[in-house]
Structure 1
Amino acid sequence: MPISLTSKIAILFTVSLTLITSIILFVFTIEVYNTNKNLFIQRGDIAVQELIYKTERLLQLGLLPNEFFGYEALCQKLVDNTEGLIYAALIDENGKVLFESTPLNNQQTTISKPNHFISQDNQYLIKKSLPPVTQQQHYIIATIDQHLLESKLTEFIIKMLMYASLIIFTGVILMIHFLRNNLGKPINSLINHIRNIDLDSQQGTHWDLLRRRDELSTVAITFNAMMSRLSNSQNSLADSNLKLQKLTNELEERVESRTKSLNKANKRLYSLARTDPLTGFHNRTKLEELLSTRFENAKKRGHHFAVLMADLDRFKYINDNFGHAAGDTALKTIGARILTSLRQRDSAYRVGGDEFIFIIEDHTNTNSLVKVAEKIKVAVEKPIHHEGQILSLGVSIGIAFLSKEVDCDAEGLLSFADKAMYQAKTKGLDYVISEY
């Protein structure tokens, strides 16, 4: 489950407050410990000074330290009347106890080093020297209760911890309450506002957060300004999309129209590039594209396939004597006649000035090819009128067809037809069927 921003801030505040309080409490505890320690030592020092004063009075009366009567009661009274003092004694320079108060737990005071006295349970020790008596040095020692100091300090720390815990708990509750009212609720309101925003309704103009004077107010104002700009941008975008859609439709229509026109032009160019303009026959380019494919298909499927190659007689004579216009008229006329006489599945090609090739498919026999050659002969030899002149032409035709006895390709079949045509022209015949 995700942690809310309010909870995160409250946790951070709690950790920070706890850490700061711990540091302050630690420093304060050390200071209190040292202060109480000094206070106990000062009390003990004052008590020892009082005992020294009384001891000096006894010495002034001429008594030796070992002759002091009731000195133990004096030491015990000093211990009873001084808080923190648990032991007092008069000792010589060798550490021998001459008089002492009642020891606690039978503790004994010994010398660990010359002129250095300590307590066996490591209590704080105060040592004061007396004026020399004869040739010996005497000392008054007092032990301060370290356990009492530590117990008072422990009691103080417990109270401080209780107060610190109460302060931390109160601070956390107040912080959570403050964050909920001043951060949590406004942020939730902002989130709900963002979730329910509608660009078309212009929500948020009189929103409560706008009346605040903090960062959330700035966020709300900035958000409303952004939504206003976004709404305007959306409207502009919608208008732009409509215009763009309209332009796109117009462009698509233009492109479609241009594409159709271009396709027609390409088809026309393709056709013109493969069509002889005078006769309407296919040209050599078209023949080269189709011949091999149609030949192989016919060969695979066992279809009858034949090639007729024709060459016009006296065409050069007409061009030389009547002009090229007469020759063009003759070609146009002959082309129109031949196209009407051929079957729809047959095709005609002009491959030279007066040379033609005819592809005949699905012919039944040799006689059917002869009939085609006769039709071509009639179309060519029929008189042609041009500017009051009668033009007369002849034709020589070579015939070659696909045969099981001869294995050849399309170019070989053309070669056989070409040889047969020259035989017809040489022998003055109308047509010759190739004998391979």
Structure 2
Amino acid sequence: MGEAQEVQLEIMGKEAREGNALHDENTNCSNQSIITQHKTYKWWLLMAIFALFLLVGQSAAILLGRLYFDKGGNSKWMATLVQPCGVPVLVPLYFLWRGKGPEENSRNENSPSVLVLVVTYVSLGVIIAVDCFLYSLGLLNLPVSTYSLICASQLAFNAFFSFFLNSQKFTPFIINSLVLLTISSILLVFQNDSSNSNDVSKGKYAIGFICTVVASAGYGLLLSLIQFVFQKVLKRVTHKAILDMIIYPSIAATCFVLVGLFASGEWKSLKGEMEEFKLGRVSYLMTLIWTAICWQVFSIGSVGLIFEVSALFSNVISTLGLPVVPVLAVVFFNDKMNGVKVMSMVLAMWGFVSYVYQHYLDDHKSKTKSSNPTTDQLLLPKRQSP
């Protein structure tokens, strides 16, 4: 009788321990669900901030760049220099984020060497410098509305490079988005902007168009390379990594652009350019300063979205802002919005919506998959491995 009681007590104790373990597991799952939900809210808020920085910075920088050329600015290298040289405004933010959180202070065993980092940042800086120069030539020779619509083709280039560098998967909606954005840019080849207030000749239009398309391809490559560096080289998930990816390549790009500025001899005409600027000397300086600041605001948003999601998603948000620029250009620069531009804008927006819908489907699918295992964990105890 004593042995039977002991066996019974042992069974009851085992069941009690299993019940407590299951209760603890359910409690942990519930707590994890609450934490995950809290992180989701914070994540979407961060995404909204990054997207706002990107859209506002991009639109303001493009309009200020056009203002520089319209009011008497002629230096292609100065227009290029203001794009990467605004990094000093990020230095306070760099030291503010430095050392925050345990992941900021701990060095990963797989962290790259100093030489690898230098080569990486300098290589990205070269690409940025060349890309900024091509964008400056495009903005110099094209109406701002045409320029911004052609820039929408950068999404197609980015998707192409992401397929090879970032293992980006293509779906019917993404393919539809890329086709529409490509057609949107091609339509602009067949329009004649010579009647525009900017009086763009056919030769300058061709140069501006080619430079902008090549620059868009370079920007698409740059975004894919940044994502590749985050994943394969840096292997760090920190705020400091975002600023490193902005500051160091921008410093390298600034150095290369300064070499071009002095080698070309354009630096000699900058004083006279400032004196002859139609809005005055102070407005000349403020235009350049605020253009530089806006491009850095754009960089924070762009690199932040790459860091949190992907290069292609960052480019999609950038494409969303491009149709806004032509509308603002009509208001501030009296650009003409003809039928071809309207059709190009509609196709660009259609392509953007197509890609966003695919992102929504992917997000919904991932949530569905993640919710099912959690439900199973709440209902069934884990099997013990033999």
Shorter-chain TM-score: what band?
Answer: under 0.3
TM-score by length of 2: 0.25
Flag the structure with higher helix content: 2
Q: Identify, as 1 or 2, the structure richer in strand.
A: 1
Is the radius of gyration larger for structure 1 or structure 2? 1
Structure with higher RCO (Cα < 8 A, 6+ apart): 2
